[in-house]
Structure 1
Amino acid sequence: MPKEERKMAFSEGMGFDGSSIKGFARIDESDMIARPDPSTFAILPWRPREKAVARMFCDILQPDGSPYEGDPRYILKRNLERLAEKGYTFYVGPELEYFYFRDEKHTEILDEGEYFDLTTLDAASDFRRDTILALESMGIKVEYSHHEVAPSQHEIDLRYTYALTMAVNVMTHRIVVKEVAQRYGYYATFMPKPIFGVNGSGMHTHQSLFRGSRNAFFDPNDLYHLSAVGKSYIAGILKHAREITLVTNQWVNSYKRLVPGYEAALYICWARRNRSTLVRVTMYKPGKEKATRIEFR
Structure 2
Amino acid sequence: MASTQGTTGSPFAASVEPGSFRVTRPQNASDVTDLLRQHDIQIVDLKFTDLPGLWQHFSITLPEVHDDLFNAGIGFDGSSIRGFQEIHESDMLLRPDPTTAFVDPACDTPTLSMICDVVDPVLRQPYSRDPRYVAKKAENYLRQTGIATTCYFGPELEFFIFDSIRYGQDQHCGYYYVESGEGDWTSGRDEGAYGGGNLGYKQRYKEGYFPVPPHDTLQEIRSEIVLRLQQAGVQIEVHHHEVATAGQNEIDMRFATLTRMADNVMIYKYICKNVARRHGKVATFMPKPLFADNASGMHCHQSLWNDDQNLFYDAGGWALTSDMCRWYIGGLLQHAPALMAFCAPTTNSYKRLVPGYEAPVNLAMSQRNRSAAARIPMYSDSPNARRVEFRCPDPSANAYLAFAAMLMAGLDGIENKTDPGAPLDRNIYDLPPEEARNVRQVPGSLDEALAALETDNTFLRKGDVFTDDVIETWIDYKRTREIDTIKLRPHPWEFYLYFDT
The TM tier, using the shorter chain, reads over 0.9
- Aligned equivalents of 2:113, 2:339: Cα separation in 1: 30
Q: Tell me how large the CA RMSD over aligned residues is.
A: 1.2
- Structure 1 residue 232 corresponds to structure 2 residue 327: yes
- Aligned equivalents of 2:271, 2:379: Cα separation in 1: 33
Q: Is the 8 Å Cα contact of residues 165 and 179 (structure 2) preserved in structure 1?
A: no
- Aligned equivalents of 1:118, 1:285: Cα separation in 2: 26
Deviation at 1:96, TM superposition (A): 1.0
Alignment-derived partner of residue 266 in structure 1: 361
Letter in 1 for 2:384: K
User: In the alignment, which of 89, 110, 131 is matched to residue 150 of structure 2?
Assistant: 89
Alignment-derived partner of residue 26 in structure 1: 86
Alignment-derived partner of residue 244 in structure 1: 339
Deviation at 1:272, TM superposition (A): 1.1
Deviation at 1:267, TM superposition (A): 2.3
Greater shift after overlay, 273-282 or 183-192?
273-282
Alignment-derived partner of residue 180 in structure 2: 109
User: In the alignment, which of 36, 53, 64 is matched to residue 111 of structure 2?
Assistant: 53
- Aligned equivalents of 2:276, 2:358: Cα separation in 1: 27
Letter in 2 for 1:274: N
Alignment-derived partner of residue 284 in structure 2: 189
Q: Is the 8 Å Cα contact of residues 92 and 119 (structure 2) preserved in structure 1?
A: yes
- Aligned equivalents of 1:41, 1:127: Cα separation in 2: 25
Counterpart of 1:80 in 2: which secondary structure?
helix
Letter in 2 for 1:42: F
- Aligned equivalents of 2:162, 2:386: Cα separation in 1: 36
Counterpart of 1:100 in 2: which secondary structure?
strand
Letter in 2 for 1:28: H
Report Cα offsets for 1:168-214 as digits up to 9, x if no partner.
11100000000000000000000000000000001111000001101
Letter in 2 for 1:180: V
Alignment-derived partner of residue 131 in structure 1: 225
Structure 2 gap ranges (5+): 1-59, 167-176, 183-201, 392-501
- Aligned equivalents of 1:3, 1:161: Cα separation in 2: 31
Of structures 1 and 2, the larger Rg is shown by 2
- Aligned equivalents of 2:281, 2:275: Cα separation in 1: 9
Counterpart of 2:295 in 1: which secondary structure?
coil
Q: Is the 8 Å Cα contact of residues 225 and 284 (structure 1) preserved in structure 2?
A: no
Letter in 2 for 1:6: V
Q: Is the 8 Å Cα contact of residues 284 and 292 (structure 1) preserved in structure 2?
A: no
- Aligned equivalents of 2:285, 2:75: Cα separation in 1: 30
- Aligned equivalents of 1:68, 1:47: Cα separation in 2: 29
TM-score by length of 1: 0.96
Q: Is the 8 Å Cα contact of residues 377 and 388 (structure 2) preserved in structure 1?
A: yes
Alignment-derived partner of residue 16 in structure 1: 76
Q: 1:32 and 1:107, CA in 2 relative to 1: closer, same or farther beyond 3 A? A: same
Tell me how many residue pairs correspond in the alignment: 294
User: In the alignment, which of 86, 95, 98 is matched to residue 159 of structure 2?
Assistant: 98
Letter in 1 for 2:134: I
Alignment-derived partner of residue 120 in structure 2: 62
Counterpart of 1:192 in 2: which secondary structure?
coil
TM-score by length of 2: 0.57
Letter in 1 for 2:271: V
Deviation at 1:284, TM superposition (A): 6.4
Letter in 1 for 2:155: P
Structure 1 gap ranges (5+): none
Question: Structure 1 residue runs of 4+, over 3 Å off?
Answer: none
With a CA cutoff of 8 Å and minimum separation of 6, indicate the structure with the bigger relative contact order: 2
Q: 1:43 and 1:104, CA in 2 relative to 1: closer, same or farther beyond 3 A? A: farther
Deviation at 1:228, TM superposition (A): 1.1
